Amino acid sequence: MKAIARHRLFWPVAALLALVIINTIARPQFIMVTVRNGQLYGAPIDILRNGAPLMLVALGMTIVIATRGIDLSVGAIMAVSGAVALTIIDGSPDPGNLGTVLVALAVALVVALVLGAWNGFLVAVVGIQPIIATLVLMLAGRGVALLITEGFITTVNSDPYKFIATGYLVGLPFAFLIAVVAIAVVALVERRTALGVLTEAVGINPEASRLAGVRARGIIFSAYVGSGLLAGIAGIIYSSNIRAADANAAGLFIELYAILAVVLGGTSLMGGKFTIAGTVIGVLVIQTLEATVLFLGVPSAQSPVFFAVVVIVVVLVQSPRLHGWARDASRAARARRRVDTGTPTGVAS
C-alpha cells in the first residue's frame, strides 16, 4: 500500500475519485450515462467534451514545462486561431461548404504553428526567458485577434464548423475524440521514441545535455511549436462551440488552468521528468471541480475562491515536504509513547 501511495499518480487519482464520489452522493444521476439515437449523454460525457480545449492546451504545456519553460501565450493563440478560421468562413459566399471550412481550419492551424515557432525562436534561438518571451505574445495576441475581426465578435452559421465542438462520432463527442487522438500522438512521440528522454534531459540539465551532443535548441523549439499547434486546435474547438470569434473571451486564463493541471498531475515546474497520464488526470480533476461548483450553485463572483481553496488542499496533500513533516510527527509521537510506557528505544511496543 505504501508503494502505491508513493506513486506520482496516486494523489491526483485520489482527488478525482473523491470529487466523483462527492458528486455522486449529492446527486446520484451525476454518473449516469444515457444513450439517445446511438449517442452518449450525461455529466461524465459533458466533462469530457468541455474539457477538450483544456486537455489540448495542457498537453502542450506539459512538454514545454518539461524543457524547463512556460507558455503564457496559449490563450492568445486560441483567440487568434478562432478569429482566423471564423473570419475566413464568414467572408466566404457559402459558410456551410465543407471545403471552405477545411481551408479555414488549415489556415488557422498554420497561423498557430507560426505563433508557436515565434515563441520557440525567442526562447531557443534568441535566449529570452520563456516567461518573458511568451508574455509578449500573450499581451499582443488578443490585439492581433481583434485586428483580424476588426474589433467585432464574428459569428457564423456553419454546420460543418459547428460539428467540431457539438458533433458526435461513433457515439462520442467529436471534440473529445480530437483530444484522445492528441493524447495518443503526444504519448506515442514522447514515450515511444527517444524524444521524450531527450526532452527530460534538456529539462533536467540543459548545459550537460548540450555537452552530451543533444540538440537542446531544436527540442525546445519543437516544444513551443507543438504547444502552439495544440492551442490552435483548442481555439478552433472553442470558437466552434460558441460559433463566434470572441478575441477577449477565447482562452481567457486557460494558460493558468493548464499549468495547474500539469502541476496537479505530478509534473514539476522545475522541468525534467513529466507525465502525460498525470496531466490528463489533472485536467479531469479541474473539469470535475468546475462541474461541482456549478452544481453547488456557487455565485460566479465567489467560484474562484472556492476553486482556489480546493486546489490548495489538493496541492498540499501532494506536497512531499508535508508528507515528510507528517512522518516526522508520527515518529515523534511514537517516541513519546515509548517514553511514557517505559519501552526502550528501538523495541516495538
Q: What is the pLDDT of residue 235?
A: 95
The whole-angstrom separation of Cα 332 and Cα 253 is 44
**Angle in degrees, CA 159, 109, 256, rounded to 5:** 100
DSSP type of residue 278: H
- What sections of the chain are H helices per DSSP? 2-6, 10-26, 43-50, 52-66, 74-90, 98-120, 130-148, 159-166, 174-191, 194-204, 206-211, 216-242, 254-264, 276-296, 303-318, 320-341
Pairing of strands 39-41, 244-245: unpaired
Q: What is the pLDDT of residue 1?
A: 57
Q: Pick 72 or 325 by higher pLDDT.
A: 72
Q: What is the pLDDT of residue 329?
A: 83
Banded model confidence at residue 342, pLDDT cuts 50, 70, 90? low
- Measured from the Cβ of residue 243, the count of other Cβ atoms closer than 10 Å reads 17
The residue whose grid cell reads 458528486 is: 23
Q: What is the pLDDT of residue 255?
A: 92
- Quote the percentage of the chain above a pLDDT of 70: 93
DSSP type of residue 39: E
Q: What are 107's three cell numbers?
A: 489556415
Q: What is the pLDDT of residue 128?
A: 93
Contact 262, 61 (CB under 8 A): yes
Contact 156, 90 (CB under 8 A): yes
Banded model confidence at residue 191, pLDDT cuts 50, 70, 90? confident
Any residues with CB less than 8 A from the CB of 70 and at least 6 apart, and which?
A: 61, 64, 130, 131, 134, 259, 269
Q: What are 144's three cell numbers?
A: 492581433
C-alpha separations of 222 from 136, 256, 272 in Å: 19, 21, 16
Q: Pick 3 or 259 by higher pLDDT.
A: 259
Average pLDDT of the residues of the chain = 87
Q: What is the pLDDT of residue 122?
A: 95
What is the pTM (predicted TM-score) of this model?
0.88
- Measured from the Cβ of residue 187, the count of other Cβ atoms closer than 10 Å reads 15
Tell me the per-residue pLDDT of 232-264, one tens digit each, with 9 for 90 and over. Answer: 999 999 999 988 888 888 888 899 899 989 988
Q: What is the pLDDT of residue 6?
A: 67
- Quote the percentage of the chain above a pLDDT of 90: 52
